[in-house]
Structure 1
Amino acid sequence: MNYTLNQLQIFLKIVETKSITKASELLFLTQPAVSIQLKNLQNQFEIPLTEVIGRQLYITPFGEEIAEASRRILKEVNAMKHKTMDYKGFLTGQLNIAVVSTGKYVMPYFLSGFLQKHVGVDLKMDVTNRFKVLESLEQNKIDFALVSVMPDNLEVERIALMQNKLFLVGNKAHAKNLYNKKFDFILKNLPLIYREKGSATRKAMEDYLSTRQITTKKKLQLSTNEAVKQAVIAGLGYSIMPLIGIKNELQDNELHIIEAKGLPITSSWNLIWLKGKKFMPTATAFIDYIQDQKDTIISENFKWLENYEFY
């Protein structure tokens, strides 16, 4: 057999998500790339690893056994790597982080320098909605979480990283027709596109509309920030979205920010962890790194957020 460690890692992510699309998003790969690696792994076996019924992907019983074997293999490989690095005197271990969906535009910049400095440190970063992020934190499955809305039911400590601003956006061509429309008309009469329940962006959007007693006539719900963005670009409706995730689309004139009362909604990105958590050396070193390098990272990568002008 000629399967690779990369194929096993990709297969495990498919098993975890039950979806090639979701696996590709979490691995920052294209769907075709993930599909090809799954096919290459499948070619090593005469028995199916997965099956598709209707539009849903399922893992076969044989696939579950291969997934369990893959976990053991990758665990041993990581153990060998860490032992080697230990002998060389390097910091080793795994950093476990859960990030809300739009945090994927933020967190990599705060990780890059740390991982380059400590080559013996592995990273496991789950990108999902706020509900699942906080669930992982509450169950102590992760070291850190990145959120834009602080939990009200957990005792946590935090490092405030940077501002998060949300604006009302629309398709460039459609938005031009709204210049002479009143604010209430925009939000009450046009279709609004929401993230799924459990999303921090959805919560911010619902809170904003609720405080202004605005009821929308038509709602669309999509499961990812990227899906919402593409729907708005296609002209399906309007949405309140984080500026951090639409920079390129604004520059390419695919999206347009619509001036509205009470916007932008401003919060902050926070790196949080359970109060009293006993950290391994890897996590402790990461906190030290963030506290020391935070301002530099923000200045080098996110200065445009503070200075962005859209009028």
Structure 2
Amino acid sequence: MERDGRASAGAAGPAAFDWTAAGPADLHVHSRESDGTDAPGDVVRAAAAAGLGVVALTDHDTVSGWVEATEAAHASGIALLPGVEFSSQIGPASVHVLGYLLDPESAAFMGERERIRAERITRAERMVHAIGRDYPLTWQHVEQHSAPGATIGRPHIADALVSLGIVTDRSAAFEGILHWQGGYYTPHRAPAPEEAIAIIREAGGVSVLAHPGGRGRPVLRMGVLGDLVAAGLDGVEVWHRDNDERDRRRLLADADRLDLLVTGSSDYHGSGKPNRLGEHTTDAAVVAEIVRRATGWAPVLPV
């Protein structure tokens, strides 16, 4: 990956940049490099067209879209925060941690990416084989719904099921065949969120807990937010469609008590989910603080 994005090489630019004047910031979007449906460049261009001034590309467990997104950001006049969304786990519950402006060549981060990629592919193959015993689904069908080099996961299996007419949409796939109680689910090893936070910190990034009100609310239910802060968590994503009003009130109170940054975002996936770019945004002061804290990678600023 091109090295001119290292924070140490361009800290003066981000420090002087007026994030208030940049425009609304959506700090959680996905491309087809993970489970979105659009190319990274198309996501950035769509963000600019939607009136956003700042966008963070946060594909699951990969940075493969950073270069294309950077080129599109320069061409579109929008600021980009390259990032990643880590998959972690508390017991059987999935917990996601967003990492912003981390060094993609950090040894710990690179090692974890390779482990996740290998495990995801093996897991997906086992699930497709099991589903294929009862439905006309093959690995080739699934590959047709992923970008070259992308790590195949359940969203790609869901898209293949939709294309074959087995289910109506992704939501139906996840509520039925791909549900963890659907009979085809294959568990996988994911790190604890504390481990994901440690990897992000070691890579000079800033960590934010993603949509903690969703996915069965394991963080809220188990009261572990304080433990994550002790592990180095920087912030929490409050303004997200998966957090209901009660969740938001509780998260805002916890963020105030624990001195956490508060973010908002769309979690955009293209046509894969109903989430719309800019439906929730992050205050400019919070964006500036994320940039100030990061030492791994610099944001891409409008030229």
TM-score normalised by L of structure 2: 0.23
Larger relative contact order, structure 1 or 2 (CA cutoff 8 Å, min sep 6): 2
Structure exhibiting the larger radius of gyration computed from Cα positions: 1
